[in-house]
A = this chain, B = another copy of it.
Amino acid sequence: MGHPSDDGARPLPRRRLNRQRTRERVYVTALSLFSRQGYAGTSVAQIAEHAGIGRGTFFNYFPRKDCLVSAWSQERVRKLNHRLAPHLEGPAGSVAALRACMSALGDLNEEEPELSAAMLTAWVQCGHLFEPRPHHLDALFACIIERGRARGEIRGTASPEQLGALLRDLYFGAVHRWATRCTEPEPAAGGGPCRPHLHTELQLALSMLLRGLTSA
């Protein structure tokens, strides 16, 4: 379906490439605005204006504003999986894998604190907290737990899915508290003061769950 003036050899790839570039520009522009002024405080019209496209054109790339949140969320999953791959495939035990997982989650948030806090708030505002299907983190944690149980490292009778959900609850709680702290003081000096806390809190939560509060 090439344009009549095209030579017919590669009209689609070029069009696709342009489309992909525009989509990327809209996405990056939106994240930058969300990071500075929050998701709720940013309109589609504003994103379109800053990206140099018409408001109507925006919807060709993202049918709804919250599709930007889903796109960010998917990108996060890709980054997490990429960073975790060496820890999940190697011979290291399940405890080390859980520690690596919490560590990677801490890093991903702390590398861009304002954006992470804004997108996490947006994610909740868009109702994703009440989605019926399990979060991908549940499955990731459950997979590590399952291997750990097979190796005799994880005890108890709760299912890997139940324990995966618990680990996700601990992560969500910690990251929500951290996001609140990040957005509380005006975004002045790059969110510096929040940086050490999430990492520490995640490892502490994991340690508590691994060792237990009452075991000798």
Q: Which residues of A contact B (CB under 8 A)?
A: 95, 121, 124-125, 127, 129-132, 145, 153-156, 158, 162-163, 165-166, 168-170, 172-174, 176-177, 179-181, 183-184, 201, 204-205, 208-216
Contact = CB atoms under 8 A, between A and B. Distances in A.
A156 B209 CA distance: 11
B213 A130 contact: no
A125 B158 CA distance: 31
A214 B132 contact: no
A176 B129 contact: yes
A65 B3 CA distance: 54
A196 to B, nearest CB: 15
Contact of A180 (B124, B131, B154): B131
Contacts of A212: 209-213, 215
Contacts of A125: 125, 127
Contacts of A208: 156, 158, 163, 166, 209
11 contacts: A121-B130, A124-B129, A125-B127, A154-B213, A156-B211, A156-B213, A170-B170, A173-B173, A211-B212, A212-B215, A215-B215
Given A156-B213, A212-B209, A173 B166 contact: yes
Question: Counting chain B CB atoms within 10 Å of each CB, which of A132, A162, A212, A215 scores highest?
Answer: A212
Contacts of A216: 155, 215
A57 to B, nearest CB: 30
A166 B176 contact: no
B204 A162 contact: yes
